[in-house]
Each structure stands twice: as C-alpha cells, then as structure tokens.
Structure 1
Amino acid sequence: MVMTCSLMIYAALEHRIRQSLRQKDLSFPDMKNKSSQNPTARWVFLCFSGIHELSVGDETPLIINLQPPQQTILEALGKRYLGIYS
C-alpha cells in the first residue's frame, strides 16, 4: 500500500511539472542537456540533489547552490515552491 501511494505521488508530481512547463512555455535540460518539456521526476530529483540550506544562529536560512535549471522547475511549480527555496 505504501509503495502504491508513493508511485501515485511520484506520477502526480511528474504530471504537474510537465503540465506547468508546457503552460508557461518553459523548458528543462534532459540527461543529454537538450531542452525538454517532459522531464522525468527521477531526473528532476537528481538535479535537485546539490541544493543545501545554510543556517547560522537565529538568522533566516539561506538556500545555496540553486542553479538556473532548478529555478526553472520552481517557477513552473509556482509561488509556493519559490517561497520555500528563496
């Protein structure tokens, strides 16, 4: 049951990313570094692996190593996701 729920969430996220990229006319580089509007969720997850949160004391945490392709996905997903990563 857990695996089924996980796959449903995975597929829903992939669908949402692809749909948003098409609607906003954005593209994301695929594994061969070609522009694509149909990235797999696995590829998007791998591209987000180098992002870190830097916290110093009570100050607001900073997101470091955010690259333009990752910014494209965040723009496609909307303000809520941009707020988390800004």
Structure 2
Amino acid sequence: LDMAALLANYKAQQKVERGFRFLKSPEFLTSAIFLKKPERIEALLMVMTCCLMVYAALEHKIRHELKQSVPFFPDMKNKPTQSPTARWVFLAFEGISTFEFQEHKMVTGMQSYHHELLSLLGVQYKAVYS
C-alpha cells in the first residue's frame, strides 16, 4: 500500500467504530439484555451485527443517492444536507402514519423531502408509502 491508501484505510476505521458504538448504545437496548447461555448471546450478537450491516447499507445508499442528485434532506437545524445519518432519517419518518380501511390506504404526515428520498431509494421504498 502507498501512504495515501494506508491513510485512507486508517481513517475508514472510524466508520466501523461508529457502528459498534451504535450497537452498545442504550437506544439499541443492549443494556436490557439478560442472556445466560453463550449460544444465545452469540446468536443475539449475530442478529445485532446483521442489523448493523443493514443500517450501514441503508445509510450508504441514502448518502450515495443524495450526492448523485439535486435533492437534499434537512438536518436537525433544517439546513440542507446530502449526508444524513440513518438514525436522523428514521427520526424524520417518525411522524408518518398509514391508515387502512377495507381496500383504501392513506398516508399522512409526508413532506416533499420524504417523497424525494423515497424516489431516490427506489420503487420498493416508494410503494410502502404510496
């Protein structure tokens, strides 16, 4: 490896550490786990690691798609950002509700930036909120 690649790899470690910090955070409920058998602890850690991989992949896809296009996602200060965290995106979608009655479905609480982000992510995501 040349020095530039070595430095880039070293700096990339921070992303992995940030992910594991998320796994240890109280929001992920790791402090409320009372497992005794090593097999169950290992299984839970495997599930949590898979969740972290999905979380990181979604965050990467959101950031990549936002950088490739004009739309932006508002940050906590309502300023435009093209690199929101997945956690912030989840929080921004918190006020959205779906109502279903017989064959009719209604989605409330959607803002324009929600529609733009869902369009960027693809038809599978858009179908859930349409």
Aligned to 1:17: 62
Give the residue type in structure 2 aligned to 1:60. H
Q: TM-score, normalised by structure 2?
A: 0.61
Q: Does 1:60 align with 2:104?
A: yes
Deviation at 1:80, TM superposition (A): 2.2
CA distance in 2, matches of 1:74, 1:46: 15
Deviation at 1:53, TM superposition (A): 0.8
What's the CA shift string for 1:37-83, capped at 9, x where partnerless? 00000000000001111112x22211111111211211211222222
- The alignment's C-alpha RMSD in Å is 1.1
3-state SS of 2:98 partner:
strand
Aligned to 1:85: 129
CA distance in 2, matches of 1:68, 1:25: 13
Q: TM-score, normalised by structure 1?
A: 0.89
Q: Specify which of 58, 72, 83 is matched with residue 38 of structure 1.
A: 83
Could you say which structure has the greater relative contact order, defined with CA pairs below 8 angstroms and 6 or more residues apart? 1
Give the residue type in structure 2 aligned to 1:68. S
* Bigger shift: residues 14-23 or 60-69: 60-69
CA distance in 1, matches of 2:107, 2:113: 15
Show structure 1 runs of 4+ deviating over 6 A.
none
CA distance in 1, matches of 2:80, 2:110: 19
Q: Which has the higher helix share?
A: 2
- Which has the higher Rg, Structure 1 or Structure 2? 2
CA distance in 2, matches of 1:83, 1:55: 14
Q: Percent identity?
A: 52
